[in-house]
Structure 1
Amino acid sequence: MINAIVITIGDEILIGQTLDTNTGWISQELNKIGVWVKKRIAVGDIWDDIWKVLDDSSKEADIIIMTGGLGPTADDITKPLLAKYFESEWKTDDQSVKHIRYLFEQIFKREVTERNLKQAIVPEACQVLFNEKGTAPGMWFEKDNKVFISLPGVPHEMKHMVSKILLPRIQSTFKMSVIIHQTLVTYGIGESYLADHIQHWEENLPKHIKLAYLPNYGMVRLRLSTQGEDKNTLELDIEKSFAELKEFVKEWLVIDEDMSIQETVGKLLKERKQTVGTAESCTGGFIAHLLTMNAGASSNFKGTVVSYDNQVKKDILGVDETLFETVGAVSEDVVIQMVEGVLRELKTDYAIATSGIMGPDGGSENKPVGMVWIAVGNKDHIVTQEFHFRFDRMRNIQQTSYTALNMLRKFINNYVESETYNAE
Structure 2
Amino acid sequence: MPAKAIIISIGDEILYGQTLDTNSHWISGALDSLGIRVIKKVTIGDTRKEILHYLEQSEKLADMVIITGGLGPTNDDLTKPCLSEYFRTKLVRNQEVLKNIHSMFERAGWEISESNEKQADLPANCTPIVNTIGTAAGMWFDENDTVFVSMPGVPFEMRQMMSDTILPKLKKRFVSDSIYHRMIRTIGIGESKLAEIIADWENQLPDNIKLAYLPTMGSVKLRLTTEGDDETSKMLVQAQIDKVLPLIEKYVYGFDQEEIEDAIGRMLKNKGMTLSVAESCTGGFLSHKITSVPGSSAWFNGAFIPYSNQLKNEQLKVDNKIIQEHGAVSEPVVLALAKNVRDEFKSDIGISISGIAGPGGGTPDKPVGTVWIGYADANKTVARKFQFIRDREINIKYSAIAALNMIRINLDKE
Task: Tell me if both proteins adopt one fold, taking TM over 0.5 as the criterion.
Answer: yes
Q: Secondary structure of the equivalent of 1:248?
A: helix
The amino acid that maps onto 2:230 is K
- Report the CA distance between 1:95 and its aligned residue: 0.7
Q: Secondary structure of the equivalent of 2:61?
A: coil
Between stretches 27-36 and 56-65, larger displacement belongs to: 27-36
- Counterpart Cα distance in 1 of 2:163 and 2:172: 14
- Report the CA distance between 1:175 and its aligned residue: 4.0
* TM-score normalized with structure 2 length: 0.92
Between stretches 360-369 and 175-184, larger displacement belongs to: 360-369
- Counterpart Cα distance in 2 of 1:51 and 1:149: 15
Q: Secondary structure of the equivalent of 1:109?
A: coil
- Counterpart Cα distance in 1 of 2:162 and 2:155: 10
| Kept after mapping to 1: 8 A contact 2:127/2:141 | yes
1:316 aligns with 2:315: yes
| Kept after mapping to 2: 8 A contact 1:275/1:300 | yes
Aligned length in residues: 413
Q: After superposition, what is the alpha-carbon deviation per residue over 1:11-39, rounded to whole angstroms, capped at 9, x for unaligned?
A: 11122111112222222223334433333
Counterpart in 1 of 2:133?
Answer: 133
Q: Secondary structure of the equivalent of 1:343?
A: helix
Mapping 1:204-283, distance limit 5 Å = 204-226=204-226, 228-229=227-228, 231-283=230-282
Q: After superposition, what is the alpha-carbon deviation per residue over 1:180-213, rounded to whole angstroms, capped at 9, x for unaligned?
A: 1111222222122223333443344334433222
- Report the CA distance between 1:252 and its aligned residue: 2.3
- Report the CA distance between 1:414 and its aligned residue: 0.7
| Kept after mapping to 2: 8 A contact 1:6/1:37 | yes
1:161 aligns with 2:161: yes
Counterpart in 2 of 1:44?
Answer: 45
The amino acid that maps onto 2:132 is E
- Report the CA distance between 1:394 and its aligned residue: 2.1
Counterpart in 1 of 2:54?
Answer: 53
Counterpart in 1 of 2:18?
Answer: 17
Identity of aligned residues (%): 42
Between stretches 267-276 and 183-192, larger displacement belongs to: 183-192
Counterpart in 1 of 2:27?
Answer: 26
Q: Secondary structure of the equivalent of 1:189?
A: coil
Q: After superposition, what is the alpha-carbon deviation per residue over 1:276-320, rounded to whole angstroms, capped at 9, x for unaligned?
A: 001122222221121111111111111112112222122221222
- Counterpart Cα distance in 1 of 2:228 and 2:404: 40
| Kept after mapping to 2: 8 A contact 1:303/1:346 | yes
Seen in structure 2, the aligned counterparts of structure 1 residues 245 and 48 have a Cα distance that, compared at 3 Å, is farther
- Counterpart Cα distance in 2 of 1:294 and 1:333: 31
Counterpart in 1 of 2:303?
Answer: 304
Counterpart in 1 of 2:69?
Answer: 68
| Kept after mapping to 1: 8 A contact 2:180/2:229 | no
| Kept after mapping to 1: 8 A contact 2:81/2:91 | no
Q: Secondary structure of the equivalent of 2:402?
A: helix
The amino acid that maps onto 1:67 is T
Q: Secondary structure of the equivalent of 1:195?
A: helix
Mapping 1:73-152, distance limit 5 Å = 73-110=74-111, 112-152=112-152
Between stretches 195-204 and 5-14, larger displacement belongs to: 195-204
Seen in structure 2, the aligned counterparts of structure 1 residues 115 and 317 have a Cα distance that, compared at 3 Å, is closer
1:193 aligns with 2:193: yes
Q: After superposition, what is the alpha-carbon deviation per residue over 1:26-61, rounded to whole angstroms, capped at 9, x for unaligned?
A: 222233344333332222222232222222222232
Counterpart in 2 of 1:419?
Answer: none
- Counterpart Cα distance in 1 of 2:233 and 2:56: 35
Between stretches 348-357 and 388-397, larger displacement belongs to: 388-397
Q: After superposition, what is the alpha-carbon deviation per residue over 1:75-112, rounded to whole angstroms, capped at 9, x for unaligned?
A: 111111111211113432111122222333442421x3
- Counterpart Cα distance in 2 of 1:199 and 1:304: 42
Seen in structure 2, the aligned counterparts of structure 1 residues 248 and 362 have a Cα distance that, compared at 3 Å, is same
The RMSD of aligned alpha carbons is: 2.1
| Kept after mapping to 1: 8 A contact 2:9/2:43 | yes
Counterpart in 1 of 2:352?
Answer: 353
| Kept after mapping to 1: 8 A contact 2:182/2:237 | yes
Seen in structure 2, the aligned counterparts of structure 1 residues 25 and 238 have a Cα distance that, compared at 3 Å, is same
The amino acid that maps onto 1:2 is A
| Kept after mapping to 2: 8 A contact 1:90/1:124 | yes
| Kept after mapping to 1: 8 A contact 2:355/2:369 | yes
- Report the CA distance between 1:323 and its aligned residue: 1.2
Q: After superposition, what is the alpha-carbon deviation per residue over 1:59-78, rounded to whole angstroms, capped at 9, x for unaligned?
A: 23222111111222221111
